[in-house]
Amino acid sequence: MKRINIDEKWTFQRGYLDNLGALEATPGVIVDLPHDSMVGTPVDAAAPANYDWGYFRGDYGCYTKYIEIPEEWKDESIGLRFDGAMMNTRVDINGYKVTDHHYGYSPFYVDISRFVTFGEKNRVTVSFDTGKESSCRWYPGAGIYRSVELCHGPSVHIANDGIYLVTKEISDGIACLEAQVEIVNETRENRLVEVTLELYPENAPSTCVKKVTRVLQVNPGTSEVARQAFVLEQPMLWDAEHPKLYRVKVNATDKGEYRTHLIPVDGTTDEAEVLFGVRSISVDSVRGLRVNGQTVKLRGGCVHHDNGLIGAASLYACEERRVKKLKEIGFNAIRTAHNPPSEALIEACDRLGMYIMDEAFDAWGMSKRIGDFSNYFEYEWEQVLTDYIRRDRSHPSVILWSTGNEIPERGGLGNGYTIATKLAEKIRSLDPTRPICNGICSYWSGLDDYLAKGMDYTQNAVEDPYSNNWEKRSEPFTNGLDVVGYNYLEEHYENDHSLYPERVMVGSETFPQEIGFRWPMVEKLPYVIGDFTWTCWDYLGEAGIGKALYLNPDDPKIKEGPWGVMPPSTTNFPWRLANDADYDITGRLLPQGEYRSVVWGSEKTFVYSKHPDCFGKVELMSMWGFPYLQKSWNYAGNEGKPVEVTVFSSAEEVELLVNGTSVGRRPVNFERPTKLGDPMPYSVSFDVEYMSGVVEAVSYTNGLEVSRAILVTTKEPSRLSLAPERVTAVADGHDVIYVGIDVLDEDGLTVPDAELDIHAEVSGAGYLAGFGSGNPITEDNYSDGVTRTYRGHAMVMIRTGYHDGNITLKVCGGNDGELTEVLNIASLIPEHK
């Protein structure tokens, strides 16, 4: 079917509006989709979901658009294709409720053929309700936060997401492929349909490298699958390092009615296309994960669905940027925690080369939050799986399915053992080519009262890896899994291999500060196929799960351990962000990410300091925390006081110089820490007296310099710098330009402790979509054009409209606006328009 994007100009209104009169009487605002209606609302210390949602409140409202359905479509099939709407969605056509859809993360298709009036404009109203109580454990966003398309095609047409391609074998310079195309017949007669499939290299869109045809009969009111096996010679192979794609174009032509013979007609032709990559996947406990016959270790990160300053709205430009940045420091895989991703993210991974663990659910029938999908799971899980797997199964970036995360039924309660198998078998019926996983954690929950007695109830509590209790309780749950996900259970790997030598394992979630001693284990063990850190990109909600406090040695909180700094005890309003990531919400690389890049082989040197106030204190980190390190040497008023300087390096030793004078050369630590306060692997620390100037760290191996890094004392803020990541944009309503804002001194150096109130205005052919910083504790409204720099930085996100022209950004700061910068960007109409 032809797909027409209809994201432009919807009317958004808050409240429950159940008839045309209420809609017309209630003021609305014009918005372009994707749109998150929650992110621009005020935060509230009394919000029921509190730190789960970063103190945002739940919301309900609706989107309305009048769509003209041409008279010539009268005999066609017409539908609306939603990539995702948050949540408890209702779709009305001309006042008639056509469908409900409860799950906020899965795509769904609505056939509206019987409800529209042809030759006229038809009202489409989409209502949503996120609930006042918490419906998930992180920030969900609200509204139509992914794209919507209007679909139409003849009565005999290709089903929505009806194209499925499979790589059966790759050898001797050929790829054996199979295509499956589902054809729907909505006529009253048997029809013969000719299905033609053509392959075009994405980088040579006019060159057809393969064409195959199949004819099949489709009876009235049914669908059938056209199957065609074929060989592609000298195929371009897809993997994360070489993401070579084909565009697959399919035509389905109605050849006529079949009675006892074909009665030919000059029939209609439907068309559809998908991206596809030729690649093979296999897993086993001896060779691990193999892509195209080559062993791959997944250098992975978990990502939630939001895009920071614009909330949950998913735009290709944002997803593409995120994937690019993750690849820059060595990531080759993401886990879409804990829900199906947007189509935009999958396409970005296809094009740029990023493996995906594509996850379905955070909860099944037993709830984690009062308003979560457990309320509908029993009746709707099968449709959810079907819809999103059909959408994703031809995409080469998707290499693993996951049926869930830390499911409460993992101990067998709620019929969990059989549900686990049932979900896996359903996925295999839709796609038998990919391994199936589930992220299983320790039994801090999920047991009946009898077994739970004496257990540690703190989240992801450690279990004795040699008691085999976890193994006995989880083994029936793993039936049907090809890969068993271990959430924070790395200590079980080797013992479990002795118990289950054929089991393939993956670190489906791991603590970020442990990568230095966990990654060598992953590389060593062939049956462990990778590691997914929690998390690679900061996000809204689960506020403050990553933090480090510096306490006096006699502070009683130290005895509480890492859980003593976890929510809710130290995450009071206005904490907003999880603060547990390699990148902040604006895409700025953090020390955690720089550390990971060193562990994964970077030869760069990274140097940081801790504030003098931290010296001599005990560092107490949450399990998802990271040391509070700063790229700063601005500590005026602390001259002569001791300061700890930390260096990350993969070299043998590091020399530290302060104002040109060496304070020593020390070996880099590569040992696993055994107690609180021990250094991390790939690090070395120095204690020095603070004096303004320059701190320089130089890494050496075999006595030769490898790399160096510096910290410099800066002067007072002198001006603002606007650094656009691109200077042209596409006027398609979906492009986003990121403009980094840095506070500079008179020498052009970023002032790392600058906190200035700044104001942004956007005019012309675009608008301000988001404005803020990576500050995890803030009351900022990211949409109002006002923020405060954090560690000398802020970010503007400019979204294009649908008309070309210039975009002007003006940013002002200082007491009287004396720090003002202006930037011009060209927004161009895309060629296909």
Among residues 596, 605, 607, which one has the least CA distance to residue 707? 605
Q: Which amino acid is at 254?
A: D
Summary mean pLDDT of the chain? 95
Three-class SS of 512-546: HHHHHHHHHHHHHCCCEEEEEECCCECCECCCCCC
- Residue 345 pLDDT: 98
Cα–Cα separations (whole angstroms), residue 804 to 4, 202, 205, 626, 732: 20, 27, 26, 44, 9
pLDDT one-digit tens code per residue, 30-68: 999 999 999 999 999 999 999 999 999 998 999 999 999
Among residues 230, 313, 231, which one has the least CA distance to residue 7? 313
Q: Residues, the chain, total?
A: 833
Instruction: Name the band, by pLDDT with cuts 50, 70 and 90, for residue 833.
Output: very low
Please enumerate in sequence order all residues whose Cβ is within 8 A of that of 580, keeping only pairs 6 or more positions apart, or say none: 512, 534, 535, 538, 542, 545, 546, 624, 625, 626
Predicted confidence (pLDDT) at residue 466 exceeds the cutoff of 90:
no
Containing H/E element for 273?
strand 269-276
pLDDT one-digit tens code per residue, 580-626: 999 999 999 999 999 999 999 999 999 999 999 999 999 999 999 99
- Residue 815 pLDDT: 76
Residue carrying the six token digits 């700044």: 758
Burial 15-30 (b: 16+ CB within 10 A, else e): eebeeeeebeeeebee
Radius of gyration of the chain (CA): 28
Mean pLDDT of 418-437: 98
Among residues 745, 797, 801, 806, which one has the least CA distance to residue 773? 797
Please enumerate in sequence order all residues whose Cβ is within 8 A of that of 665, keeping only pairs 6 or more positions apart, or say none: 653, 654, 655, 656, 700
Containing H/E element for 619?
strand 618-621
Helix (H, G, I), strand (E, B) or coil at 497: helix
Q: pTM above 0.95?
A: yes
Q: Which amino acid is at 300?
A: G
Cα–Cα separations (whole angstroms), residue 729 to 352, 646, 733, 830: 19, 40, 10, 9
CA dist 424 and 381 (Å) reads 12
Structure tokens at 171: 């050898």
pLDDT one-digit tens code per residue, 727-766: 999 999 999 999 999 999 999 999 999 999 999 999 999 9
CB-side neighbour CA atoms (13 Å) of 683: 27
Q: Which amino acid is at 795?
A: M
- Residue 831 pLDDT: 59
pLDDT one-digit tens code per residue, 699-727: 999 999 999 999 999 999 999 999 999 99
pLDDT one-digit tens code per residue, 485-542: 999 999 999 999 999 999 999 999 999 999 999 999 999 999 999 999 999 999 999 9
- Residue 430 pLDDT: 98
Asked whether the beta carbons of 615 and 650 are under 8 A apart, the reply is no
Cα–Cα separations (whole angstroms), residue 90 to 142, 171, 305: 13, 49, 22
Q: Which amino acid is at 447?
A: L
The C-alpha angle with vertex 774 and arms to 772 and 779, in degrees rounded to 5, equals 60
Asked whether the beta carbons of 792 and 742 are under 8 A apart, the reply is yes
- The Cβ of residue 365 has, within 10 Å, a number of other Cβ atoms equal to 19
CA dist 606 and 587 (Å) reads 18
CA dist 167 and 276 (Å) reads 10
- Residue 465 pLDDT: 83
CA dist 11 and 30 (Å) reads 5
- Cis previous bond, 535, omega within 30: yes
Q: Lowest-confidence range among 330-344, 541-555, 557-571, 661-675?
A: 557-571
Q: Residue 190: what are its φ and ψ, rounded to 5°?
A: -65, 135
- The Cβ of residue 119 has, within 10 Å, a number of other Cβ atoms equal to 12
Is the model more confident about 149 or about 135?
Answer: 149
Mean pLDDT of 195-208: 95
DSSP-assigned letter for residue 147: -
Mean pLDDT of 160-174: 97
Containing H/E element for 288?
strand 288-291
Please enumerate in sequence order all residues whose Cβ is within 8 A of that of 811, keeping only pairs 6 or more positions apart, or say none: 720, 722, 741, 758, 759, 760, 761, 796, 820, 821, 822, 823
The DSSP result for 663-709, as a single string, is: EEEEEPB-SPP-STTPPPTTEEEEEEE--SSEEEEEEEETTEEEEEE
Q: Which amino acid is at 476?
A: P
